[in-house]
Each structure stands twice: as C-alpha cells, then as structure tokens.
Structure 1
Amino acid sequence: MEKKAGNLELVYGRHAVKEALLTGRPLYKILVARGLGGNFFHELRNLAAGRNIPVQVLPAEALDRLTSRGAHQGCVAFVSPYRYAAIEDLVALAPRCLLVLAYITDPRNLGAILRTAAAVGVEGVVLPSRRAVGLTAEALKAAAGGAEHVKVARVTNLAAALRYLKEQGFWVLGAEADAPCTLWEARWNEPVAVVIGGEDKGLGKVIRRECDVLVRIPTTAQMPCLNASVAAAIVLYEVMRRRLMKGNHEGDSAD
C-alpha cells in the first residue's frame, strides 16, 4: 500500500465510493469515519468484503484532512488512477449521443454534467487535456457515481476531435448564447455530438466553426446566461426527448 500510495487517487462521498465498488474499478482501501453505521455502511462493508478490499475505521478529522475538508460523507477510497478512453473507443461503441465539453474548469460543474450524462444515456464524454479540469476527486464526488457509467476520453486538440467525429457520421450540435436559432427550433440527426462551452468564454471561435448547428437556450433578459451544467442538462434532455418521441412515432407506424 505504501509503495503504491503515490500512484493512487482519492474518491470520496457515499455514491461515488459505492459505484466504484459496484462497477469493478480497482480499489485498494476504504476509509470509514468512526461512529458511523446504518444500512449504507453495512452494505459498503459487505461489498468491500466481497472484493477483498480492506476497510479501515478512522476519526472523521482524519478524513477531513485527507480530503481538504471535502464533503466525504464519512467514506473515502484509494483507487487506481482513472483510465481515460481514446476517442476511437467512444466511436466504437456505436453511440447515439456523445458529449463534448469545451474548457470546463470547475470540477463541480464537470461532476454535475457527468451525472446528467449518465442519467440520460450518453455513451461517452470528450474532454480537452489542457485548460480544463479532469476527473478529480471533487469532480467524482459531484458526479455521485455517474462517472463510473460513462466512458470519458481526453484529447489534445478539441477541434480536430470534432472533425474526426464528423468524418464518422456525427452531427455536431453546439450550445451558444447568441446562436441564431433556439434549441426547440433546431434540427439535427443522430448520432449527435453535443458541445457545451466553458463557464467563462463559451465555445470560442475555433469550436464554433466546427459545429454543424448552433443553438441557444431561451432565457430572460434578467438572466441571459446559464451555468454550464444546467445548459448541458437542458440540451441533453431535449436530445433524449426527441429520440423517445421518434421511437414512439415509429412504433405507432409499425402498428
């Protein structure tokens, strides 16, 4: 354990640790705050025992220090570093929807977006390797286990990645506040790659040029901009809504 410690990462929070256990991510040790019990911690210990993962009980203050007073909810896990996929791996899944994040720098935003992506069935997420946050412990905590259900790739050139996706038959749908048409008016086909911009600068000129269609989410003049995770949720749920509506109409036609 001591020799590997420098190569390990932290995952903390009940949902994040439990999902890491359930999905088979390599875990080396789980730390639990002293005095905590109940059904969740009983289940956690049983899951850990089933995978021969040691569980150590420590004072809550020790977990506070380890997570820099993060909201660990009484459990922390030492895990192997996250293994990012290649973008080719995502395409090989034959996905209907991929999510591309352009320069998201807030780990809590990233985590919230990954949680939504898992909820709506996004098969993969693409992140830039520079000027953007990766899957840190804080991002994984905010994802509440969602990151364990979505493959995540990192690329060095986001514009080149979008060109590659278009070559593979994807429509690239970008969300931008000043886009000429609203999300409700726009048309696109699947497979689709949804692009969400960063908290400060949006998509940027280079990424905008690679989009097949740009859409805006209608807002009032009093609040013209949305948080990146909120914008991602609105667009992704509209993508899912249209897919479900299309499936229902095709079912009606078959009858």
Structure 2
Amino acid sequence: MAKGGGKRALRGRAGRMQGGRGSGRASSGQVRFWGRHAVEAALQNPDRNHHKLWATREGIASLDGELPDNFPVEYAEVADLGRLVSKDTPHQGLVLECAPLEDIHLDDVLTTADGKPLLVLDQVTDPHNVGAILRSAAAFGAAAIVTQDRHAPPESGVVAKSASGALETVPWVRVVNLARAMEQMAEAGYWRIGMAGEAEATLAEALPATPVALVMGAEGDGMRHNIAGHCDALAKLPISSSIESLNVSNAAAIALYAIATRED
C-alpha cells in the first residue's frame, strides 16, 4: 500500500460477502488480522503476502494510503465482519487474511543489529504479552525478539492487535534451542542479563556499556534454570515491596527504557 498523496477510490474485487457469513477461521496456512493498526501495518509490509481484505467502507476510508491495483477487497457490514473473527473482537471495520511472515534467522539479526538490544523470551506464551512486548521493542529500538519455537504463541490476530503494527517491523526470531541462541549472542558481543525478582543487583547496576540481550521469563515460573545459567548476570527492577511482580510486558517496557537511557 503506497504512502503519500490523497486517497482515491480503492480498486479490487468489491462486493457484499456471499450470504453475509464468514468461515470464522482463516484458510489453511493463513493468518487473520483485524483492527486498523494491525491491518494497515500488514498491508504496508512488502514482505507480507496478502490474501484477502474484508472491510466496511468506513474501514477502508480510515487506512493511510491506497491499496494496490486489483487488491482483493470484499465490502461487508460490521455484523458480517464479526463472524470472521472471535466474538466481541474490535475489528474496526477491517479483517485481513494473509500468509505468515517468512522465518528470520538469528545470524542475520546479529549481523545487522548494530548494538541494539535483543529481547529473549523464555516460555512467554500469552499472545497479548508477546504482542505488547513487540510494541515496546519497536518503541525503544530493539533489534529483535527471540523465542523458542515450542514455547511461544504462533503469529496470530491477537499478537498483531496487541503489537499495534510492531509485528510487521520488529524481527521475531524463533529458534529450536534457546540456550544455544544465547551462546551465539555472547559470541556476537552481547551481555546477557536475566530479569529475576530474586536478583541482588538492580538492572541499572547490572547494565554494561556493551550491547545487551535482555532475558525475560514467564510470569510465575520465571526463567528456566538452564536459561538463567546462560545469563552473564541477573538483575531486578526496583519495585515497591507492596507488589510482588510486574506483568512481563510491563517489565520488558521498563527494562528497555532503562537500556535506552543508560549513560555510557
């Protein structure tokens, strides 16, 4: 979807949804996004293979820019779109079906990271949390998030909605062996800091001047023992004793801010 210029009539196959009903789930091998920010970002991503857009006319008008020629658009009513997604999902008049992004390799990220922080998520499985972490990663200039493929949510509409567009801009590296990936980070010059409430040092005290790989564990269980053992240091956020812990996405945002504002 090209930027710039005024909006003109959007082209494509336009018409009411047949029977006014959707399947309720994406076609095989596809993912389904909803909401203006998630859909607009996916449409603007040249690496995303789009399949079809269902939209109200108001939803189309809210998009920034224009759809490409012959883009498959099917106009629908709000109630019709509600049948394409989960109940009470805030689709804002836009539902996009597209292919998942191609895999990204850690070696490629490390080659181009230029010292930007990495976020390592150990068994963080809630798609809302992963999406919110992607959003914070985009806000504070992280090079990528890294997860273990078996212990992370798949790319989905919930992740995309929570990420508010960041799913399209922040590389998401999925690895088979998270410990081995952390060894690669160390070899590339990253200092690996695991966030743990029982740590003695605060994050500010543990931050080096070198690039940082921030390791976050799942809420409740925290990091696995093997992953903590692959950290160069453990650190905590100096939160009040009246609160046991922070949501992992909130903790990630605060930690990324601390890294972004550290003094050299």
Asked if TM exceeds 0.5, the reply is yes
Residue 91 of structure 1 aligns to a residue whose secondary structure is: helix
For residue 45 of structure 1, report the CA deviation from its aligned partner.
8.2
- The answer (yes or no) to whether the contact 2:100–2:155 under 8 Å persists in 1 is no
For residue 180 of structure 1, report the CA deviation from its aligned partner.
1.3
Counterpart of 2:30, as a letter, is L
Q: Which residue of 2 aligns with 1:56?
A: 74
- The answer (yes or no) to whether the contact 1:103–1:133 under 8 Å persists in 2 is no
| TM-score (norm. length: structure 1) | 0.87
The answer to whether 1:32 aligns with 2:50 is: no
Per-residue deviation, residues 93-143 of structure 1 (Å, max 9, x unmatched): 133211111111111111000001011111111111112213221011100
Q: Which residue of 2 aligns with 1:123?
A: 143
Q: Which residue of 1 aligns with 2:27?
A: 5
- The answer (yes or no) to whether the contact 2:36–2:62 under 8 Å persists in 1 is no
- The answer (yes or no) to whether the contact 1:105–1:199 under 8 Å persists in 2 is no
The unaligned stretches of length 5 or more in structure 2 are 1-25
Q: Distance in 2 between matches of 1:240 and 1:217?
A: 15
1:40-189 aligned at under 5 Å gives the runs 41-42=60-61, 44=63, 46-48=65-67, 50=68, 52-69=70-87, 70-96=89-115, 97-189=117-209
Residue 154 of structure 1 aligns to a residue whose secondary structure is: strand
Task: Name the stretch that deviates more: 22-31 or 98-107.
Answer: 22-31
Q: Which residue of 2 aligns with 1:249?
A: none
Q: Distance in 2 between matches of 1:14 and 1:228?
A: 26
Q: Distance in 2 between matches of 1:130 and 1:187?
A: 30
Q: Distance in 2 between matches of 1:218 and 1:58?
A: 50
For residue 78 of structure 1, report the CA deviation from its aligned partner.
0.9
1:228-247 aligned at under 5 Å gives the runs 228-242=248-262, 245-246=263-264
Q: Distance in 2 between matches of 1:60 and 1:66?
A: 10
Q: 1:197 aligns with which of 214, 217, 222?
A: 217
For residue 51 of structure 1, report the CA deviation from its aligned partner.
5.2
Q: Which residue of 2 aligns with 1:14?
A: 36
The unaligned stretches of length 5 or more in structure 1 are 247-255
Q: Distance in 2 between matches of 1:135 and 1:174?
A: 25
For these two proteins, the number of residue pairs brought into alignment is: 238
For residue 46 of structure 1, report the CA deviation from its aligned partner.
4.8
Residue 192 of structure 2 aligns to a residue whose secondary structure is: strand
Q: Distance in 1 between matches of 2:65 and 2:169?
A: 22
Q: Distance in 2 between matches of 1:7 and 1:58?
A: 23
Q: Distance in 1 between matches of 2:69 and 2:40?
A: 12
The answer to whether 1:215 aligns with 2:238 is: no
Residue 68 of structure 1 aligns to a residue whose secondary structure is: coil
Counterpart of 2:94, as a letter, is C
- In angstroms, what is the RMSD of aligned CA positions? 2.1
Per-residue deviation, residues 46-90 of structure 1 (Å, max 9, x unmatched): 522x35422211222232222112222221101112222011121
Identity among equivalent positions (%) equals: 36
Q: Which residue of 1 aligns with 2:10?
A: none
Q: Which residue of 1 aligns with 2:19?
A: none
Q: Distance in 2 between matches of 1:200 and 1:84?
A: 29
For residue 43 of structure 1, report the CA deviation from its aligned partner.
5.1
Counterpart of 1:214, as a letter, is L
